[in-house]
């Protein structure tokens, strides 16, 4: 999930704005045939000022409606965990401190309320998951058991290419029934699945949007590269969370060997994170933990004291533990860029 910078300059509808309620969903594509846009499709998307991908990827914000507001306010979603990776949900405003470019910022807005989310669920059904599919299904059940009934879902499976399984839907039953008939096999196109998920979330019902991935992190079939997807997710307002299952001592392929690192490199810059497990029995519990975490984030708002555009602004959040508790860890997006005439960018 990205920062929201509400300025008198033109902002895009993709921003999360807890102070404004704007929901204009457009109809999705047919689910019968999904197509991953090629790099040449970039020419088919409208330009938005200087905001866009430097590597030729199509921007995901081309059809967003502009929003004009009169207040400078950065809204920063923050998840907090303890030393055991458990979500901490009892903090107050005074437990947080925000610094932008090493300057302390006054927290002018604070919220810890749960709100519905639009979620793209990405399920690895490649050959490498063939002996783990039952555990994967159990993890998805636990994910739903800790969900908000009002959440909206897009379900995508991926092996040699991503395929839409269901969505947009609020029925977890539709997704669970669809997964029953899925047989794992083939190569792995996880990066293409992330691209498709980002594209689908453009027409999501809610302004809070997230991707949840269950995979071993390997990729050997995607058209898009890791570098391209990392650039794409940094420009997006979507948080990405993942559970990585690595329960074999000896990795079989270079892709599996890199899986842990790839997942973290994708999730962490978005303000989400990756939980890795080395025992498949722990997979459902990890999915439940991330499900609770993504729905129970703090939102901190401040008016930045720094000025200027076309400059990367580094943000740091410090969180103090309640008396007697162990040190806490804050998970959030570490910076943003303001582009003159184009609203908010997020390239590091």
Q: What is the CATH number of the domain that holds 275?
A: 3.40.50.410
Whether 173 maps to a domain, the answer reads yes
State the pLDDT at residue 126: 92
Is there a single domain that holds both residue 96 and residue 218? Answer: no
Cβ–Cβ under 8 Å, residues 152 and 203? no
Is there a single domain that holds both residue 135 and residue 242? Answer: yes
Is there a single domain that holds both residue 144 and residue 276? Answer: yes
- Compute the average pLDDT of residues 123-128: 91
State the pLDDT at residue 27: 35
Least confident range from 31-45, 148-162, 294-308, 334-348: namely 31-45
Q: Is 62 helix (H, G, I), strand (E, B) or coil?
A: coil
Token duo for residue 147? 């969900």
Is there a single domain that holds both residue 122 and residue 84? Answer: no
pLDDT > 90: what percent of the chain?
A: 37
Q: Would you say residue 286 has pLDDT above 60? A: yes
Whether 6 maps to a domain, the answer reads no
Half-sphere exposure of 320 (CA within 13 A, CB side): 9
Is there a single domain that holds both residue 233 and residue 328? Answer: no
State the pLDDT at residue 76: 86
Least confident range from 10-24, 102-116, 197-211: namely 10-24
Is there a single domain that holds both residue 129 and residue 199? Answer: yes
Residues making up the chain, counted from first to last: 348
Residue 299: phi and psi, rounded to 5, are: -120, 120
Is there a single domain that holds both residue 152 and residue 247? Answer: yes
Whether 66 maps to a domain, the answer reads no
Whether 221 maps to a domain, the answer reads yes
Name the domain count of the chain: 2
Q: Would you say residue 167 has pLDDT above 70? A: yes
Whether 155 maps to a domain, the answer reads yes
Is there a single domain that holds both residue 107 and residue 200? Answer: no
- Compute the average pLDDT of residues 292-308: 83
Is there a single domain that holds both residue 160 and residue 235? Answer: yes
State the pLDDT at residue 339: 58
**Cα 206 to Cα 127, 152, 153, 168, 238, distances in angstroms:** 34, 8, 11, 11, 11
Q: Indicate the pLDDT class of residue 106, thresholds 50, 70 and 90.
A: very high
State the pLDDT at residue 142: 95
State the pLDDT at residue 342: 40
State the pLDDT at residue 141: 94
* Distance between CA atoms of residues 41 and 63, nearest Å: 14
Q: Would you say residue 45 has pLDDT above 60? A: no
Is there a single domain that holds both residue 198 and residue 225? Answer: yes
Token duo for residue 203? 């027409």
Q: Would you say residue 136 has pLDDT above 70? A: yes
Q: Would you say residue 33 has pLDDT above 70? A: no
Q: Is 335 helix (H, G, I), strand (E, B) or coil?
A: strand
What global pTM score does this model have?
Answer: 0.71
Q: Indicate the pLDDT class of residue 6, thresholds 50, 70 and 90.
A: very low
Cβ–Cβ under 8 Å, residues 154 and 25? no
**What range defines the domain where residue 175 resides?**
118-295
Q: Would you say residue 98 has pLDDT above 50? A: yes
State the pLDDT at residue 302: 92
Q: Indicate the pLDDT class of residue 41, thresholds 50, 70 and 90.
A: very low
Q: Indicate the pLDDT class of residue 16, thresholds 50, 70 and 90.
A: very low
Residue 11: phi and psi, rounded to 5, are: -110, 165
């Amino acid at each position: 999930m990205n920062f929201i910078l509400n300025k008198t300059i033109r902002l895009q509808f993709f921003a999360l704005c807890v102070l404004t309620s704007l929901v204009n969903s457009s109809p999705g594509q047919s689910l019968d045939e999904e197509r991953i846009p090629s790099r040449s499709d970039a020419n088919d998307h409208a330009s938005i000022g200087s905001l866009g991908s430097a590597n030729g990827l199509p921007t995901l914000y081309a059809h967003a409606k502009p929003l004009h507001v009169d207040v400078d306010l950065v809204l920063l979603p923050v998840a907090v965990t303890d030393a055991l990776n458990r979500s901490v949900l009892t903090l107050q405003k005074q437990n947080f401190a925000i610094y932008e470019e090493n300057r302390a910022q006054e927290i002018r807005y604070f919220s810890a309320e749960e709100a519905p989310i639009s979620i793209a669920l990405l399920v690895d059904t490649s050959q490498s998951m063939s002996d783990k599919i039952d555990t994967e299904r159990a993890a998805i059940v636990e994910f739903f058991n800790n969900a908000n009934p009002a959440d909206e879902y897009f379900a995508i499976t991926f092996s040699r290419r991503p395929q839409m399984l269901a969505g947009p839907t609020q029925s977890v039953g539709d997704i669970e029934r669809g997964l029953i008939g899925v047989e794992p096999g083939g190569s792995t196109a996880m990066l293409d699945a992330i691209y498709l998920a980002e594209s689908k979330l453009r027409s999501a019902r809610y302004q809070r949007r997230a991707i949840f991935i269950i995979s071993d992190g390997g990729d050997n079939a995607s058209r898009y590269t890791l570098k391209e997807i990392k650039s794409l997710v940094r420009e997006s307002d979507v948080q990405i969370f993942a559970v990585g299952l690595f329960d074999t001592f000896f990795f079989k392929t270079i892709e599996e060997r890199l899986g842990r690192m790839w997942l973290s490199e994708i999730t962490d810059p978005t303000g989400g994170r990756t939980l890795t497990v080395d025992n498949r029995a722990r997979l459902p519990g990890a999915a439940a933990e991330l499900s609770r975490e993504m729905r129970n984030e703090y939102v901190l708002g401040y008016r930045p004291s720094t000025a200027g555009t076309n400059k990367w602004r580094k943000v740091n959040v410090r969180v103090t533990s309640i008396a007697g508790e162990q040190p806490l860890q804050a998970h959030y997006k570490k910076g943003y860029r303001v582009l003159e005439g184009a609203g908010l960018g997020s390239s590091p």
